[in-house]
Structure 1
Amino acid sequence: MAQSTGVLVQKRILILLSNGFETMEAACFTEVFGWASIYGGIRFDQLSVGLRNPITTTFGFDVIPEALLGDVDLDDFDALVIPGGFGDAGFYEEALSEPFLDVIRSFDRRQAPIAAVCVSALSLAAAGVLTGKRATVYHQIGGARKAELESYGAVFVDAPLVIDGHVMTSTGPGTGIELALKLLEVLTSPGFAQELRERMRVPTPDAAWFQAAQV
């Protein structure tokens, strides 16, 4: 994967954090791309970015983002990652705000990969990038989030991981590692993603897992 000049290829990933985000849904990506930087020919620089500092997570402890949104140039990044969170923790106050949605639109305009976990799919929908696209979201009995996703014009698919073009969505914390590995595959190759899965001892789900309904 290294260039013929011997210079290490570098890619940058922006991890966009809303107040009230779930740490596990961010950690899946930091782990996968951290390992990838060690074992592959590409160095992945990951930058956590928020609208405030500190950020309070879903379950109440504070994290310090590496940068504030106003201090970064979005065009410097190759992919966007958005963890989900809980409404009771204030997630939607920022995740549905215009500054947050404008980040998504910026990546979408240049067709850069976007990976959204759980209810952060609603941020993509609110940004207008899921209209007519297949996507998933955390789905429970009663289907409130499903209905919300569809209200923006998205085509809901009841599956753990859904990819439509450069946009990838998954349903919850337990699907985050698969979404991270899929993003790695897009940014490198299927072979390297499989190699890293094996190095990290992440079991490969069977085919039925990828088709399983949530409720």
Structure 2
Amino acid sequence: MKQVILFLCQGVEEYEASVFTDALGWTTTYGLEPIKLVTVGLRSKVKCAWNFTIEPECQLSEIDINDFDALAIPGGMSRAGFYEDAYDERLLSLIRNFDSQGKLIASVCVGALPIAKSGVLNGRNGTTYHLSEKRQAQMKEMGVNIIQQPIVIDKNIITSRSPSAAMDVAFAVVEKLTSATNLNRIKEGMGFIENDTK
């Protein structure tokens, strides 16, 4: 069974995290090939962007990163402390490790910033929050070729520009780790596509 780290930074935006828990969760109940999702953080409790407090299942120091096939990084809000964890060297090192092995790394919105900060997107294509010139400028300064599209895939790295793309990023993770058939099965179960065979 494929396994995915959902990395929860302080100040994470709840919706951007929840799409991964939902889409990958559906693979375990309705899908043809299950994917295990493990929530991981740098602290025992994470205060989210909109005042939820959540508890990651594991601390980064408690897991064997070699057991995992993909890394998902939802974005968050700077006013809620997102970059305290997003730019932590422990996360940046994790990103570098996954990229060096060609493992899938997916982000939503400003979740792309730590990927860029790690250096793995230098000279590659990516995107981030399209309504923030500051964040796009930061990505460019980190050597990223900014593409103005909702989702940008450069080899093993998926970036996206806003919360509206979050579910499609989660669906891309499902498809890349398993198959289009598995993805269509869970999309049917979740009501994203209709099954006309009644």
Does TM, scored on the shorter chain, surpass 0.5? yes
**Distance of 2:78 and 2:152 partners within structure 1:** 23
- CA deviations 1:2-37 (Å, max 9, x no partner) are xxxxxxxx1111011110001111110111111111
Equivalence for 1:157: 147
Counterpart pick for 1:104 among 95, 99, 102: 95
**Distance of 2:40 and 2:185 partners within structure 1:** 29
**Distance of 1:178 and 1:37 partners within structure 2:** 18
**Distance of 1:194 and 1:11 partners within structure 2:** 18
Superposed, 1:120-199 pairs within 5 Å as 120-140=111-131, 143-199=133-189
**Residue 114 of structure 1 pairs with residue 105 of structure 2:** yes
Counterpart pick for 1:77 among 63, 68, 72: 68
Deviation, 1:42, is 2.2
Deviation, 1:61, is 2.2
Equivalence for 2:43: 52
Equivalence for 1:213: none
Counterpart pick for 1:63 among 40, 50, 54: 54
Aligned AA (1:31): D
3-state SS of 1:202 partner: coil
Superposed, 1:9-20 pairs within 5 Å as 10-20=1-11
**Distance of 2:176 and 2:34 partners within structure 1:** 15
**Distance of 1:139 and 1:120 partners within structure 2:** 13
**Distance of 1:63 and 1:191 partners within structure 2:** 32
Instruction: Give the alignment's TM-score, normalised by structure 2.
Output: 0.94
RMSD, matched Cα: 1.4
Deviation, 1:203, is 6.1
User: For structure 2, which runs of at least 5 residues remain unmatched after alignment?
Assistant: none
Q: Is the 8 A contact 2:71 2:104 kept in 1?
A: yes
**Distance of 1:203 and 1:192 partners within structure 2:** 13
Structure number with the bigger relative contact order (C-alpha 8 A, sep ≥ 6) is: 2
Equivalence for 1:6: none
3-state SS of 2:192 partner: coil
Aligned AA (1:37): T
Aligned AA (2:162): G
Instruction: Report percent identity of matched pairs.
Output: 38
Equivalence for 2:80: 89
Deviation, 1:146, is 0.9
Q: How many residues align?
A: 194
Counterpart pick for 1:200 among 169, 172, 190: 190
Stretches of 4+ aligned residues off by more than 3 angstroms:
none
**Distance of 2:44 and 2:182 partners within structure 1:** 35
- CA deviations 1:78-114 (Å, max 9, x no partner) are 1100010000000011101111111111111111001
**Distance of 2:193 and 2:152 partners within structure 1:** 19
**Distance of 1:178 and 1:53 partners within structure 2:** 29
Instruction: Give the alignment's TM-score, normalised by structure 1.
Output: 0.87
**Distance of 1:135 and 1:194 partners within structure 2:** 26
Deviation, 1:187, is 0.9
Deviation, 1:133, is 1.0
